[in-house]
A and B are shown apart, each in its own frame.
Chain A
Amino acid sequence: MMKKNTTWMKLITFYIPTFTILLFLLFPFYWTFVTSLKPELELYGTTVTYWPNDLTFLSYQKLFNEFNFLKPMFNSFSSQQ
Chain B
Amino acid sequence: MAVMRFLKGVFSIKLQSNTNQITEIKGNRRKLNFLPYILVAPALSIITFVVFIPILEALVMSLRSHDLRRPNEIEFIGLGNFIKAFHDPQFWQAFQNTLIWVIAGVGLQFFFGFVLALLLNKQFKGRGVVRAVSLIPWATPGVLIGLMWKWIYDGNYGVLNDVLMKLNLIEQNIPFLSQTSSAFASVIVTIIWQGIPFFAIMILAGLQGVSQEMYEAADIDGASKLQKLFWITIPSLKNVIMVTILLRIIWVSNSVDIIYSMTGGGPSYSTQTLSVYIFNKATVLDLGYASAMALILMLLLAIVAIPYLKNTFKEG
The residues of A with any CB-CB pair to B shorter than 8 Å are 14, 17-18, 21-22, 24-26, 28-29, 31-32, 35, 43-45, 48, 50
Contacts and interface: CB of A to CB of B under 8 A. Distances in A.
B52 to A, nearest CB: 24
A28 B157 contact: no
Interface of B: 112, 115-116, 119-120, 122, 124, 130, 133-134, 136-137, 145, 148-149, 151-152, 156-159, 162, 193, 196-197
A22 B134 contact: yes
B193 A25 contact: yes
The dominant DSSP class at the B interface is: helix
Contacts of B133: 22, 26
Contacts of B119: 14, 17-18, 21
Contacts of A45: 157
A28 B112 contact: no
Contacts of A44: 156-157
A35 B149 CA distance: 12
Contacts of A31: 148, 151-152, 159
Nearest to B134: A25
Contacts of A28: 137, 145, 148-149, 152, 193
Contacts of B120: 18
Contacts of A18: 116, 119-120, 130
B152 A25 contact: no
Given A28-B152, A31-B152, A17 B157 contact: no
Most buried by A among B145, B159, B196, B197: B159
A32 B136 CA distance: 13
Contacts of B148: 28-29, 31-32
A26 B136 contact: yes
B114 to A, nearest CB: 11
Contacts of A43: 157
Most buried by A among B119, B124, B152: B119
B152 A21 contact: no
A25 B162 contact: no
A21 B119 CA distance: 10
